[in-house]
Chains A and B, each alone.
Chain A
Amino acid sequence: MISLLANPLRFKKFARYASPIFGCAALGLIAVGVWYALYNSPEDKLHENAVRILYIHVPAALISMSAYGAMAAASLIAFVWRHPLADVLARSMALPGAAFTVLTLATGAIWGKTAWGTFWQWDGRMTSTLILLFLYIGYMQVWAIIEDKRRAARIAGLIAMVGSINLPVIKFSVDWWNSLHQGATLGGPGFETSMGMPLYLLMLGYGCFFAWLTINRVLDSIERTKQKRTKTQRGASAVMEDI
């Protein structure tokens, strides 16, 4: 599977089917999920309607973390096997991942205001999400400042891998340092299936949306390198004719 998609042309063929499938699935799942989350699910006993923002918040948090893991995995594949598309894939996942992290932080802050009466607390999970955002920004900046893209790929890959090894360490130490955040409630007592259903739908929907975004960003990136290549070739031939 991995080496099968290494070829950009083959990836394009794969994307021709995968992109609409993921796109439609994301649209459908998110639409149904949002309908369940906002209209057709019970209010929370404690927080009433405010609990509905968690349907947006929890899936975003899930995607923001797993996107970094996927980015690191793609970087590892690129680093070990010099897989040409894995670099592009890792790079394409960074910006959507960072966007989901921002969404997590923003919805988390709004939820915090209603539930705990404050937008920001230096508690374990919030702090580690903020650090995750720093990791994403650093990764994207490395791509931005190193001009030679092959070199940038190797160095950004190293940074993603070192970051992903450190992410559990950071998470553990931040949790140990200060933890107010409620533990995971999925499946715990007081958690109704009518609340779980929209949550799972939205998690899947967000996942499909993320996959759709990534595939299209990879396609865009392939297209751009192709354009750049033809442009430089044309430039060279013009110079030859002038001589």
Chain B
Amino acid sequence: MRALSGLIKRDLLLALRSGGTWAHGLVFFAVFLALCAIALGGETSVIRPLAPALIWLALVLSLLFSFEQLFAGDVEDGSLEQIRLSGLPLTHYVSGKCIVHWLLTVVPLLAALPIAGLFYNLSMATSAGLFFTILIASPALIIYGAFSGACLTGYKGGGVLLVLLTTPLLIPVLMFAIEGVLSYEKAGLGAMEFQALSGLSLIALAIGIPASAAALGATME
């Protein structure tokens, strides 16, 4: 447990001193939403029904591009080798990485959500629905991305392939999340979609973390 918290502290410190690269996802999120609004003609009546889908797409895309570098630094400079030698199980290491990545990417996006809601003129209920769907589904997003990242760390041309590998796994999440935003207004958190999203996140937790650890192990063999 101490090793895990040490790992989290180290990664947060690294991100803090990286000159703000962790905020790139946030910038992408803002730019994507602005571009969508412009492409759709800027008419609120057109944008509003599409807003949950657009915001979810912005979230998924901004996350997808962040996984290529997730393990790359540790593999290149040899810290992963040292961590493995220290006896820390790779599953712990992957969990730590996922927690830090969640703190650095999903939490800022959740914080920026009210502003996005303001831009798109969303109702409180829709904004709250978005907030809760993102909160509940984010473990699945992060873990499947981390799995693809672990599989492709250290190989050329991994970026596009990472998107291709992760997308099929995220399709159920996207479907339930967007329906969940709509049904939040009627049924609140008890809606069936939220149960499905929690289930998807739990499946991701159970499969994704051991699989990522195994992929990292295979890369270092």
Q: Which residues from chain A sit less than 8 Å from chain B, CB to CB?
A: 131, 134-135, 137-138, 141-142, 145-146, 150-151, 154-155, 158-159, 161-163, 165-166, 169-170, 172-174, 176-177
The chain A residue sitting closest to B206, CB to CB, is: A165
Q: Which residues of A contact B147 (CB under 8 A)?
A: 162
Q: Which residues of A contact B152 (CB under 8 A)?
A: 142, 145
Report the bound CA distance from A107 to B207 in whole Å.
35
State the Cβ distance, B27 to closest chain A Cβ, in Å: 28
Given A134-B168, A135-B168, list of 18 further CB < 8 A pairs?
A: A134-B164, A134-B167, A138-B165, A141-B164, A145-B152, A145-B157, A151-B221, A155-B215, A155-B219, A158-B215, A162-B147, A165-B207, A166-B168, A166-B203, A170-B168, A170-B169, A172-B172, A173-B196
Q: Which residues of B contact A159 (CB under 8 A)?
A: 151, 165
**CB-CB nearest 5 A-B residue pairs:** A173-B172, A154-B218, A138-B165, A177-B175, A138-B164
Q: Of the candidates A138, A162, A169, which one forms a contact with B208 in the assembled complex, judged by CB atoms under 8 Å apart?
A: A162
State the Cβ distance, A206 to closest chain B Cβ, in Å: 24
Q: Which residues of B contact A166 (CB under 8 A)?
A: 168-169, 172, 203, 207
State the Cβ distance, B203 to closest chain A Cβ, in Å: 7
The chain B residue sitting closest to A166, CB to CB, is: B169
Size bracket of the B interface: 20 to 34
Q: Which residues from chain B sit less than 8 Å from chain A, CB to CB?
A: 147, 151-152, 155-158, 161, 164-165, 167-169, 171-172, 175-176, 179, 196, 200, 203, 207-208, 211, 214-215, 218-219, 221
Q: Is B165 within 8 A of A142, CB to CB?
A: yes
Q: Which residues of B contact A138 (CB under 8 A)?
A: 161, 164-165, 168
Q: Is B211 within 8 A of A162, CB to CB?
A: yes
Q: Of the candidates A137, A150, A162, A172, which one forms a contact with B169 in the assembled complex, judged by CB atoms under 8 Å apart?
A: A162
Q: Is B171 within 8 A of A174, CB to CB?
A: yes
Q: Is A145 within 8 A of B171, CB to CB?
A: no
Q: Is A158 within 8 A of B203, CB to CB?
A: no
Q: Is B214 within 8 A of A158, CB to CB?
A: yes
Report the bound CA distance from A215 to B219 in whole Å.
29
Report the bound CA distance from A151 to B168 in whole Å.
23
Can you identify 24 A-B contacts, CB atoms within 8 angstroms?
A: A131-B171, A134-B164, A138-B161, A138-B168, A141-B164, A142-B151, A151-B219, A154-B214, A154-B215, A154-B218, A154-B221, A155-B215, A158-B151, A158-B214, A158-B218, A165-B207, A166-B172, A169-B172, A170-B172, A172-B172, A173-B171, A173-B172, A173-B176, A173-B196
